[in-house]
């Protein structure tokens, strides 16, 4: 599934440039991805799109009256001094390297709290096994892509390059 997500990310630079999921499925089949991989990736992407749409519906738009749809909970922004406690299954799924990377992004103010929660949700939905750091980076890029969040050049460099293959001088 991760190969499919990387392909989508690399070929559709922005979330709104991506075709409808049915059409995307046909394109992925034509490229040669396995049908099971495509189905998993499309389900994952659909859930990400629904999450994004739900968050946009709750958040007031600039210039709007600030009203929200009926029966929708009000999203509360996390306080600066708040602490996120991870569930045991999240810790197991993300691993110490993944959790460390998420903390790095938060400390660098590169991962807003709302997107942090989406990343954790999508990471735990990606596999039944623990993620590698590279897989987590793919998920973070996909969340940024879907929410049209533009990280700084340095953060993007961290997200796109495998540091384990570099030689330190």
Across the range 118-134, mean pLDDT stands at: 91
CB 58 within 8 A of CB 72: yes
Instruction: Output the average pLDDT for the chain.
Output: 82
Long-range contacts of 3-8 (CB under 8 A, 24+ apart): 3/33, 3/37, 4/28, 4/33, 4/37, 4/38, 4/40, 4/41, 5/41, 5/44, 5/45, 5/138, 5/139, 5/142, 6/138, 7/31, 7/33, 8/41, 8/45, 8/142
For residue 26, what pLDDT band results from cuts at 50, 70 and 90?
very high
- Give 70-86 pLDDT, tens digit per residue: 444 444 556 666 788 99
Q: How far apart are CA 90 and CA 92, in angstroms?
A: 5
**pTM for this entry:** 0.78
Residue 150 has pLDDT above 70, yes or no: yes
Q: End-to-end CA distance of the chain, in Å?
A: 35
DSSP designation for 65: -
Give the long-range contacts of residues 139-144, CB within 8 A, separation 24 or more: 139/5, 140/105, 140/111, 141/9, 142/5, 142/8, 142/9, 142/45, 142/48, 143/48, 143/115, 143/118, 143/119, 144/115
């Amino acid at each position: 599934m991760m190969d499919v997500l990387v392909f989508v990310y690399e070929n559709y630079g922005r979330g709104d440039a991506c075709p409808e999921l049915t059409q995307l499925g046909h394109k992925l089949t034509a490229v040669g991805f396995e049908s099971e991989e495509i189905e998993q990736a499309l389900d994952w992407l659909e859930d990400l799109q629904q999450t994004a749409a739900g968050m946009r519906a709750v958040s007031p738009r600039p210039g709007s009256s600030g009203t929200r749809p009926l029966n929708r909970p009000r999203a509360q922004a996390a306080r600066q001094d708040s602490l996120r406690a991870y569930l045991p299954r999240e810790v197991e799924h993300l691993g110490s390297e993944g959790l460390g990377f998420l903390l790095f992004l938060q400390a660098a103010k590169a991962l807003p709290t709302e997107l942090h929660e989406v990343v954790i949700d999508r990471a735990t939905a990606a596999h039944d096994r623990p993620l590698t750091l590279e897989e987590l980076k793919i998920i973070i890029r996909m969340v940024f892509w879907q929410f049209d969040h533009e990280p700084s050049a340095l953060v993007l460099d961290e997200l796109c390059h495998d540091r384990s293959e570099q030689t330190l001088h």
